[in-house]
Amino acid sequence: MIRSVGPAGPVNVVGLVGWQLKYNLLAVVVVAAVLLQLPDTVDPDDYDAILATAGVVASIFVGFRNMNAYQRWWEARTLWGAVINDCRAMHNGLSAVDTGSAEMAPVLDRMRRRQVRHAWQLVAELRGVAPQPGVTDLTADSPDATATELLNLQAQDVQRLAAGGHIDPPARVMLMTVNNDLVSSQGGLERIRNQPIPAHYDMFIRGLAWLFALVAFNLLHVATHYVGSILVGLLFMMVFVSAERLGYFLERPMSNSVFDLPMYRFCSTITANLLGSGQPLAKPRQGNKDTVWW
């Protein structure tokens, strides 16, 4: 897995994105090569009308799709911001109810550690990968505990604190409000991860993008084999097809790809906030100047 792009950020980002688009770009080159061998049976005067019509339709749908893709990406980023804030709120709430008693100390420590574990576990579930080394060692809970189960265990510890007389009803409400906010944020992230744009709509927009790109390629007089026109047409196809595919990747911000949100970075921040910067999981895997990480 790629960790970061280091100081040569822009160049490496282009390389990473190009690698993600490699099959689409290869398809563009193959299709262009085939078109160069075929006789042009369409009247050149008709291309202007075809291009104008296809361009308007394709631009509307591709633009709409990419706008929604960005909204999904931004919503996921906002929800992760809420997770970070709620983890800090939980830490503050636990500090507020701490009486310094020997009975409370292990429970509060366990809840802080479990909160950190929940963040890392949530990332693993969203990306469909195993938790990072050391995550399951944070608590004595089952190694197979899911993010939902960890939040439920948090609620059970709040109940134990209340039943033991360590916290009063308002404190219990305060802690459970934060816990329920985390449940809501987790549900929103799971919705974004598990409910992408329908496949048939995706294929429709992709087909429109290809249709417009092919018409534009032919409009640039490829049949006359002008090298400059061929190169410009090929570049146009690559740009338009890539723009549509970038929307596809962007609407999946938690799919364990180069387009992901920096969720490990978020979890490192949460770990440092709750357990201190000395905790191994709190150490960022990349430098602060790195452009891409996950």
> pLDDT tens digits, residue range 244-253?
888 888 888 8
CB atoms under 10 Å from CB of 21, counted, come to: 18
| pLDDT band, very low/low/confident/very high, at 165 (cuts 50, 70, 90) | very high
152/261: higher pLDDT: 152
Encode 162-207 in three state secondary structure: HHCCCCCHHHHHHHHHHHHHHHHHHHHHHHHHHCCCCHHHHHHHHH
Using one digit for the tens of pLDDT, what is the confidence trace for 88-126? 999 999 999 999 899 999 999 999 999 999 999 999 999
**Which of 40-49, 160-169, 182-191 bottoms out in mean pLDDT, i.e. has the lowest?**
40-49
| pLDDT bucket at 36, cuts 50 / 70 / 90 | low
Tokens matching residue 93: 């709430």
Give residue 293's pLDDT band: very low, low, confident or very high (50, 70, 90).
very low
Residue 46 has a pLDDT of 58
Q: Check: CB of residue 17 under 8 Å from CB of residue 195.
A: no
Take residue 122 and report the two structure tokens written for it: 């949530």
CA distance 119 to 141: 15
Q: Of 45-49, 89-93, 169-173, which gets the smallest average pLDDT?
A: 45-49
Residue 42 carries which DSSP code?
Answer: S
User: Please, which contacts does 100-109 make with residues 24 or more away whose CB atoms are closer than 8 Å?
Assistant: 101/166, 103/164, 103/166, 104/161, 104/166, 107/157, 107/160, 107/161, 107/166
pTM over 0.95: no
